[in-house]
Amino acid sequence: DTGVSQNPRHKITKRGQNVTFRCDPISEHNRLYWYRQTLGQGPEFLTYFQNEAQLEKSRLLSDRFSAERPKGSFSTLEIQRTEQGDSAMYLCASTQSGIADTQYFGPGTRLTVL
Amino acid sequence: EDQVTQSPEALRLQEGESSSLNCSYTVSGLRGLFWYRQDPGKGPEFLFTLYSAGEEKEKERLKATLTKKESFLHITAPKPEDSATYLCAVRSNTGNQFYFGTGTSLTVIP
């Protein structure tokens, strides 16, 4: 039973560049969540998918952020025109709806915007 | 709006010194309360899910309890390897979002 995986684990970019992160959920899980976490804070909800449908987005998610989950499997989170304030840990979690609803997290992608 | 408040922000314990972490929540109908452990630079690791007041769950030196307003994570005779940040999250019956607290940073001194 493999857990949630995320790639890359670390990303350093210059301000203004675009970055894309990938998340591979636990295979039988139909729901996938993206979170952002900064130092000393808990994970902050960004968006979630049920299968391939993006059902909810945080008000905090600017139009520079976009997420996809083609075919209901892996998901990508893209940040366009990165800003220094985007520096954070980006976490992905998956769950099987209707069964405990417990989320299982990946190791995260640490983004540093210079 | 659903809210989660954790206290204390930080806790230092001597090895073997038992204590409790608090998670107070406000939610419009609780669907579940979740405890996670997070080590520096890593993703949260699932510990417990609690669904209704009066429920308790245990795992090794950890025991989680739930009331209608709060949850406690009791740590009995902690060891240095229990040092981590412990996060609490809730999900309401009316939505699909999970709301996290800011965590309690636990340090266990040998």
Which of A87, A78, A80 is CA-nearest to residue A114? A87
Identify the band that residue A1 occupies on the pLDDT scale cut at 50, 70 and 90.
Answer: low
Q: What does the alpha-carbon distance between residue A45 and residue B68 come to, in Å, rounded to a whole number?
A: 24
CB A75 within 8 A of CB A34: yes
Residue A12, H or E segment: strand A10-13
Non-local CB neighbours of A32 within 8 Å, separated by 6+ positions: A23, A25, A48, A49, A69, A75, A92, A93, A94
Please tell me the distance in Å from A81's CA to the nearest CA on chain B.
25
Local structure of residue B15 (DSSP, 8 states): T
CA nearest A92 in B: which residue?
B43
Which residues in chain B touch residue A89, judged by CB atoms under 8 angstroms apart?
41
Radius of gyration of chain B (CA): 13
Q: Could you tell me the two tokens for B21?
A: 């972490």
Q: Do B49 and A100 touch (CB under 8 A)?
A: yes
Amino acid at B3: Q
**A 52-91: CB under 8 A from B:** 55-56, 89, 91
Which among A108, A114, A91 is positioned nearest to A8, based on CA atoms? A108
Check if A41 contacts B (Cβ < 8 Å): yes
Q: Do A102 and B91 touch (CB under 8 A)?
A: no
| Inter-chain residue contact B97 with A108, CB threshold 8 Å | no
Pick from A42, A55, A105: CB nearest B96: A55
B11-56: pLDDT as tens digits: 999 999 999 999 999 988 888 999 999 999 999 999 999 999 999 9
Q: How many CB atoms lie within 10 A of CB A81?
A: 11
Residue A98: pLDDT band by 50, 70, 90 thresholds? confident
How far apart (Å, rounded) are the C-alpha atoms in residues A109 and A47? 16
CA of A98 to nearest chain B CA: how many angstroms apart?
11
CA nearest to A74, candidates A20, A19, A9, A6: A6
Which pLDDT tens digit goes with each residue over A21-70? 999 999 989 999 999 999 999 999 999 999 999 998 988 788 999 999 99
List the single residue in B with minimal CA-CA distance to A31.
B96
The number of C-beta contacts closer than 8 angstroms across A and B is 60
Q: Which amino acid is at B74?
A: H
Task: Tell whether A26 lies on the interface with B, counting CB pairs under 8 A.
Answer: no
